[in-house]
Amino acid sequence: MKAKIFTILSTFGAIYSLYLFYLEHFVGVCFTGYCSEYPALLGFLWFALAPLTLRLNKIKKLWQVSGIFGICCLVFIEIYHRAICPFCSFAHVLGLILILVSRI
């Protein structure tokens, strides 16, 4: 059951990150005026690597720490620039939920 939920969340997160990349890079839509496509690409890679942690326990801690570190850095940047994006915040929350599910 945990593996199924984990896989669904990671797939949704990867697709959502690609959608954010599409909005920022190809459509030019930015809801805060301070967007870059790189966090969306890194988010895609992070979510896409998530299913590997089910099979390779050795990389699970590194994956979790990199997720927490990335989320903290991106939230700090949003706060610093006073540009809180609800779409990015949703991706951050989804990442935190995925980390919590991986710890169960």
Please list the alpha-helical segments (H only) found in the chain: 2-21, 38-49, 52-55, 60-80, 86-103
Residue 100: which of 64, 56, 70 has the closest Cα?
A: 64
The low-confidence residues of the chain, meaning pLDDT below 70, are 1
**Helix 38-49 vs helix 2-21: angle between axes, to the nearest 10 degrees?**
160
Per the structure, the complete domain to which residue 38 belongs is given by 2-103
Tell me how many domains the chain contains. 1
* pTM for this entry: 0.86
- Residues in the chain, overall count: 104
Residue 46: which of 70, 75, 22, 25 has the closest Cα?
A: 70
- How big is the chain by its Cα radius of gyration, in Å? 14
Instruction: Please state, in angstroms and rounded to a whole number, the distance separating the CA atoms of residues 68 and 36.
Output: 20
